[in-house]
Amino acid sequence: MESVKKVPLRRRLKSACAPPGPGPPRCRVCLARAAAVSRSGGSAHRAGPVHRGRPRAARVSPLPPSETRPAARPRGPPPGGRRGARRDRRSRPAPPAAQRKGDQVTAHDTRTARAGSAEPAVDVEALRRDLLDRVDGEVRFDDGTRSVYATDASNYREIPIGAVIPHSVEAGAEAVAVCREHDAPLISRGGGTSLAGQCCNTAVVIDWSKHCNRILDIDLDAGTATVEPGIVVDHLNARTREEGGVIFGPQPSTHDRCTLGGMIGNDSCGSTAQAYGKTSDNIVALEILTYDGCRMWVGPTSDEEYERIQAEGGRRAEIHRELRALAERYGQPIRRRFPDIPRRVSGYGLDALLPENGFDVARALVGSEGTLATVLRARLRLCHEPPARTLVMCAFHDVFAAADAVPRILEFDPMALEGLDDKLVAFEHRKGSNAEALKLLPDGAGWLMVQFGGEDSDESRRRAEEFKQAMTGGDDAPLVEVYDDPRSASAMWTVREGGLGATARVPAAPDAWPGWEDSAVPPERFGDYLRDFHSLLQEYGYADRSSLYGHFGHGCLHVRIPFELRTAKGIADYRGFVERAADLAAGYGGSFSGEHGDGQARGELWPRMFGRDLMPAFAEMKRIFDPQDRMNPGKLIHPGGGPPDGLDEHLRLGASYSPAHPRTYFGYPEDEGDFQRATLRCVGVGSCRSDSGGVMCPSYRVTREEAHSTRGRARALNDMLRGDVFPDGWRSTEVRDALDLCLACKGCKSDCPVDVDMATYKAEFLSHHYAARVRPGSHYSMGWLPLWARLAALAPGPANALSAAPGLADAAKRVGGIAADRPIPAFAPVRLRDAFRRRSRRGAGRTGSASRGEVILWPDTFTDNFQPEVGAAAVRVLESAGFQVRMPRRTLCCGLTWISTGQLATARRVITRTLSALREDLRAGVPIVGLEPSCTAVFRADAADLFPHDEDVQRLHDQTFTLAEFLNARAADWDPPRLERAAMAQPHCHHHSIMGFTEDRRLLERTGADAQVLDVGCCGLAGNFGFEEGHYAVSMACAEDGLLPAVRGADPEAVVVADGFSCRTQIEHADIGREAVHLAQALDMAQRGGAPRHHPEAGALRMTPRRRAPSYDADEIREQAVEAGRSGSFSTGGTGAGA
């Protein structure tokens, strides 16, 4: 084997990560952690306290502020002429560190080697090669991967060395071995939703979530399940419920995407911990792997088991022996200093090592945040789940009175006891979140949610009524409301679970951040603690923006606070506040963390809670398992007792945060007109990683790639503006790759708790990326579809013949960037507007004196040119409801296809032309009904974003309706035709995210239909996306993820309703024996005398021939989608041995 000369990590990484050609390197290496970095400045060139303890591992960190490169200015002509357009303003470069008095450490913190310490020599390229050679998995050391793994849901950011995504637990163990041989630090990662920075490190990231997610065993007799670390808790509970009516009890609010490995790392809880306890209370045993290679199962250890382990000898015996000695030596301080509260999550679990607690090594490791060992498998305790639940809401005059009532309510043994304040409710009102649910809240300014379980609904209801009777009466009695309707109870829980999203980003208010978000105190003292904590918030000026909510039954408070993390003073205030809050919690006998873990946010505060006498015990625990400090180094504690990373180091923002503020086409009015601020919307909670419910995020659901989640893309865009990871700015191919599989479905705009709008961000990026450059063929073929359709309308017959002719069609697809397996839709023989014009000349459709007034039916490109029968049906329905229907005299367009392909200058011209033609009607208040949801959504959202200060655009927004919205609002007394059958409705993604589907459900119910509104996500076609070359597999895999199985299983007598042209086309191309119709067609069929009993879609009129895609195997298409996601994740990734 060729010998490789070892070069100090600093020099090698500079060389390996340097961009081609001249210019500064893309990343910089720090050889040891912060020996001499000032807490007040964060610069290696400034004096400050020296961290004492063992030398730290080799570190790779982002460029310091002086070496960052701003994002490139957009080339080509700027977006001119629009009101409110931003100047290409850039923050001035920060002055040198020596000039910034009191400056705090920043996200670009550069560390220097500790005096006298040896530089560890880590050859990163050799490490990468060995991982590729030996690990069955995906090995990625490219800039794009490092970007998406640099942050979690916390305030911190550290660029990792690279990432390994093992295909099996054994492959993960091999990755640990390779890292050990190269002396490389490592960190395990699950869902990446941690709030304290424990998922961020300059180390090799092992992501267990994609492949290592199997349920290995469910033993109902023993009441246990054995799982791999990447299993999502909801997936586990779905299986255990099905097999035995049991569950794993702790369920954080992220239960649909958080992994068991992450829950073990943090000792997570959730609202259900009131009944089931913390994760540590539900762990039977763990299979762990230490950095030095000791692999073993650990758990409660009897004296006999301990002696057997000692007799075997070796590293396992040594670990157990030293742990027992630690427990004996520090037993009394542990008993004295560890808070006796339900949610003591801070600190290592040393109390589990005490003999009275069974010398339980597994429980001692839970909550260690990956700093001690790697968890390979876990055996979990399963619990009985009461089949019935009844929710009670108690309303108080303020949140403090609600907290005071906690001890009394605990006497009734509820299975959940949550609290929230009036600020949370006000924030949700301002954001427009959970509007219907908020109406159900009883009057008050502080609420407790009290849930009772039972073996049947009678039992849970009885317990709730007994509780209500006991709580009523007296001057200070709360208002008590019982919600035994599951729908109402579920709505109430959405209010509580929406807390993070509601409090993180509030319109016209400062952003709020974690940092002191989950402290816990004895429940009986919770009311007083809340008052004192609120006083502290007031002292720092944080109170008006900070909502108090959380797991009140366990004395656990959740709060996001408007820390100013971009200025030296703001960061100093952040530190000062957290230190004061820590002292306050400790004074109440509480824990700094009640479920999220300490991470970097609170690790340095341990002495304030546990005292100096216990700190050596924590350091010894670290030394026993990880003496070299290679497991998530810098977090919690050093093996030599030195302090960990400071709470104000490695900040995601920081005083030196100075990203580019480029000119943009969209106005971003909800982000102060700043694209950079829009990219910061993502707070990292990972809702986009859920694989069921809602729309977000279809590409992640089929690829399982972090880069193809909304979170991953938002991180990439923000890093592009920072310039340290992606120095090419708008020209970045890595960012383009991350955005390539975004379907622009806008699901994130409604489903993301902070309303990230990735479809808009993608369009913005594409507009600059391809400025003054040749675009992909699809941008010319489908981006300019309205023009081509208008030309095809002159001779639709020949156009259809050419588009279906063998050879010619294939050539046209190649030139136009269209997937070979996609048939080109057939043009209608007559356009809708032409047929309507001829009909009007004949005098048909006039409603005379019975008219309810005029309405403009919008003839979008898809309805007009491909399915005019939909528009004709809508005309008949609107006229039967008493409206006079007309259409624009000119051929107009909303600009959708230019927006979705990032041709925003053209889109602005198209919309300007449309506004000019509609201006008279808009100012006269004439309503517009849109039939194609994506086009309607342009008028309701995108146009206003492109023209944020145009009054006519606002009128267009206000006067545009969907068919259902219009009929329900303007013809409430109209008796719609009777469907009287089951109706399966698939909401179009833009319909779901912009307009909502409530009115469509309501109209279907008015027809007598038994409406089933699907919640299966995007159809996958998504306008031009599914037609584009390279997207076919992902498109069809999205459809197979939910829509197509649902339609295949539909009742033959049910009508399948889908307003979106894409949704109907995807179903048609799949050739599954069913087709979908537009709501207008369903209503028209009913008023024309009904539809066939079986497959009622056959009763809908059709003008264009059907075109099917080639048949495919669903499993194969899913595998192809995964491969497309892997190969398109970032261009420089790799796949290891055995793949």
pLDDT average, residue stretch 674-686: 95
| Least confident range of 233-247, 473-487, 786-800 | 473-487
What percent of the chain clears pLDDT 90, i.e. is strictly above it? Answer: 81
Q: Which residues contact 588 (CB under 8 A, 6 or more apart)?
A: 521, 522, 525, 528, 529
Measured between alpha carbons, how far apart are the two ends of the chain, in Å? 23
pLDDT for residue 605 is more than 50: yes
Tens of pLDDT along 519-550? 999 999 999 999 999 999 999 999 999 999 99
- From CA 172, how far away is CA 165, in angstroms rounded? 8
Does 54 map to a domain?
A: no
Unique residue bearing structure tokens 């303890």? 53
How would residue 510 be classed by pLDDT, with cut points 50, 70 and 90?
Answer: very high
Q: At what angle do helices 963-970 and 1079-1087 cross, to 10 degrees?
A: 60
- From CA 228, how far away is CA 214, in angstroms rounded? 6
| Least confident range of 665-669, 728-732, 918-922, 977-981 | 977-981
Tens of pLDDT along 875-916? 999 999 999 999 999 999 999 999 999 999 999 999 999 999
pLDDT for residue 1031 is more than 80: yes
**One-character DSSP codes across 771-838:** TTSPPPHHHHHTTTHHHHHHHHTTSHHHHHHHHHSTTHHHHHHHHHTB-TTSPPPPPPSS-HHHHHHH
Longest dimension (CA), the chain: 100
Nearest-CA neighbor of 382 among 584, 243, 195?
243
Looking at every residue in the chain, the average pLDDT score rounds to: 88
Question: Coil, helix or strand for 936?
Answer: helix
pLDDT for residue 380 is more than 70: yes
Domain C-terminal end among 562, 595, 628: 562
- Whether the bond between 697 and the residue before it is cis, its omega within 30 degrees of 0, is yes
Question: Coil, helix or strand for 482?
Answer: strand
Q: Tell me, what's the pLDDT at 846? A: 54
pLDDT average, residue stretch 941-965: 97
Domain C-terminal end among 516, 536, 562: 562
Does 452 map to a domain?
A: yes
pLDDT for residue 325 is more than 60: yes
Does 60 map to a domain?
A: no
- From CA 1045, how far away is CA 30, in angstroms rounded? 52
Q: Give the range of the structural domain holding residue 450, as residue numbers without chain letter.
A: 388-562
pLDDT average, residue stretch 365-394: 97
Task: Tell how strand 853-858 and strand 928-930 pair up.
Answer: parallel
Does 414 map to a domain?
A: yes
Does 381 map to a domain?
A: no
CATH at 505: 3.30.70.2190
CB distance 883 to 848 below 8 Å: no
Q: Tell me, what's the pLDDT at 418? A: 97
Does 165 map to a domain?
A: no
Question: Coil, helix or strand for 224?
Answer: strand
Query: What value does the CA radius of gyration of the chain take, rounded to a whole number of Å?
Result: 30
Letter for the amino acid at 110? T
Q: Which residues contact 620 (CB under 8 A, 6 or more apart)?
A: 322, 326
Q: Tell me, what's the pLDDT at 1106? A: 81
pLDDT average, residue stretch 650-654: 96
Domain C-terminal end among 508, 528, 562: 562
CB distance 939 to 991 below 8 Å: no
| Least confident range of 385-399, 431-445, 980-994 | 431-445
Q: Which residues contact 886 (CB under 8 A, 6 or more apart)?
A: 840, 854, 855, 856, 857
Nearest-CA neighbor of 261 among 227, 297, 292, 290?
227
Question: Coil, helix or strand for 688?
Answer: helix
Q: Tell me, what's the pLDDT at 1136? A: 52
Domains in the chain: how many in total? 2
Task: Tell how strand 982-985 and strand 928-930 pair up.
Answer: unpaired
Does 478 map to a domain?
A: yes
Question: Coil, helix or strand for 383?
Answer: strand
CB distance 369 to 599 below 8 Å: yes
Nearest-CA neighbor of 85 among 957, 950, 952?
950
Q: Which residues contact 1134 (CB under 8 A, 6 or more apart)?
A: 128, 132, 138, 139, 140
Nearest-CA neighbor of 192 among 147, 129, 250?
147
Tens of pLDDT along 74-91? 333 333 333 333 333 333
Give me 183's structure tokens. 């002396």
Does 348 map to a domain?
A: no
> Angle at CA 838, nearest 5°, toward 834 and 844?
130
How would residue 3 be classed by pLDDT, with cut points 50, 70 and 90?
Answer: very low
Residue 15 C-beta-side C-alpha neighbours within 13 Å: 9
- The answer to whether the Cα torsion of 592, 597, 601, 607 is positive or negative is positive
Q: Give 403 or 501, the one with higher predicted confidence.
A: 403
Nearest-CA neighbor of 158 among 90, 63, 246, 223?
63
Q: Tell me, what's the pLDDT at 1107? A: 85
